[in-house]
Each structure stands twice: as C-alpha cells, then as structure tokens.
Chain A
Amino acid sequence: EAGVAQSPRYKIIEKRQSVAFWCNPISGHATLYWYQQILGQGPKLLIQFQNNGVVDDSQLPKDRFSAERLKGVDSTLKIQPAKLEDSAVYLCASSLEVLAGRTDTQYFGPGTRLTVL
C-alpha cells in the first residue's frame, strides 16, 4: 500500500514570497490533515478536511495560509506571503473517514521542509 506522498521535499524562499505544497493521501482515505512542525516542537494541526469539506481550520493563519482539496483527493497548502516564522516542516496526514467514537490511525507523509530567508 502506497503511503502519503508530499512534494516538494525541500523548499527555500525569501520572505514575502509565495509557496505551495502538494499532498496525495492514501487511496480511499476520506480525511486529510495538514500539520506544521516547528523545529523542536510537536506537530500542530493547521487544517482538517473530510472529503472536500473543511472540518477544522481554527489554527490556520487565514491571512496568509490557504488550503484546498478539490475532488476530495489531492490537497494543496499555500502560504502567501511567507514570513520568517513560517520556517517549519509541513506534514500531510490522512485517515479513513472520521466517525465519532471510532479511532482511525493518521498516516503521515515525509513532510516538506520550508526555509524562509
């Protein structure tokens, strides 16, 4: 079974530039998550999709971050414009359809390491 795919693996940009990350979840997984992992910290959820609808984006800085999941499969996360503090690893994860009371394993991709100069 193929895992969660992410690209690019590394990206270096200047502050105020734009950047986009792509994620392809495990086939059949309805739920997709984007996490931000700053060096030395645990991952922090930015946004959660169920199919192509947003379930939780309470921690997404909406003035500069946006995400979409067209057709309920692939997803892109965009930062525009980037700030120095956005330097982090951006992790995508997927799981089966989330239902209340059921624990579904979240499978993580390898992440995209973003450096903002």
Chain B
Amino acid sequence: QQQVKQSPQSLIVQKGGISIINCAYENTAFDYFPWYQQFPGKGPALLIAIRPDVSEKKEGRFTISFNKSAKQFSLHIMDSQPGDSATYFCAASRVNTGFQKLVFGTGTRLLVSP
C-alpha cells in the first residue's frame, strides 16, 4: 500500500526527443506527487509537483500528467537536452496528515544522447 512503482528503470533518448517516465501507486490517501531530479554526487532536488485536483501541470519543458482513477502519474520532458541526463524519482505523500513523509519510487536513469 505504501509502494510507488516506477518505470522504466533506465531510458535513453536522443537530444530533442520526449522522455516519459511513469509511476503508479496503490494508496488512495496519497495527495501530493512530486518528481525529484538527482545528479551524481548530489541530493535529490524538487523538479515539479502536482496535487490530485488537477490532471496536468506544466513548468517549462517539464509536464506531469495525473490520472486519479488509474492511480498513475507520469513525467514528460519535452525537447530533452544532454543536461537533463540524471536520475529521476517520483514520490508520493499524504500532505493532509501533516507528516509529509515522502515515499519514493525506485528511480529512472535518463541519458540524453547528443
């Protein structure tokens, strides 16, 4: 119930292409879904996040699509660049409980080839 399943494990995309990473959850009490980006030797950094009252959120080249009925959400990176090469983690938490405990997916290693 506390798991967040993420796929694919790794992804290679050509420069300018679209990168898509998918996540699925079971616990319907989750109400906050952030995506974190992590570069080697660094801690994760918040990229974009969504609450379940909207189906899509866009910030620059990054878009989250959220399907509440399917309990799935995905990250789309448009016009992928070599600088986007990193590991991406989806996460979920129950904001309304006040605990903010993030449950992370297993990560997707993205490589954008020049």
Contact = CB atoms under 8 A, between A and B. Distances in A.
B43 A91 contact: yes
Interface in B61-92: 89, 91
* Contact residues on A (Cβ < 8 Å of other chain), bracket: 20 to 34
Contacts of B46: 105-107
A87 B79 CA distance: 37
Given A108-B45, A110-B41, A110-B42, A103 B32 contact: yes
A88 interface: no
Given A100-B96, A101-B95, A103-B32, A45 B43 contact: no
Given A4-B43, A108-B44, A111-B43, A42 B98 contact: no
Contacts of A43: 44, 89, 102, 104
A91 B38 CA distance: 12
9 contacts: A40-B106, A42-B4, A45-B102, A48-B100, A95-B100, A103-B32, A103-B100, A106-B100, A108-B36
Interface of A: 4, 31, 40-45, 48, 55-56, 91, 93, 95, 98-111
Interface of B: 4, 6, 32, 36, 41-46, 49, 51, 89, 91, 95-102, 104-107
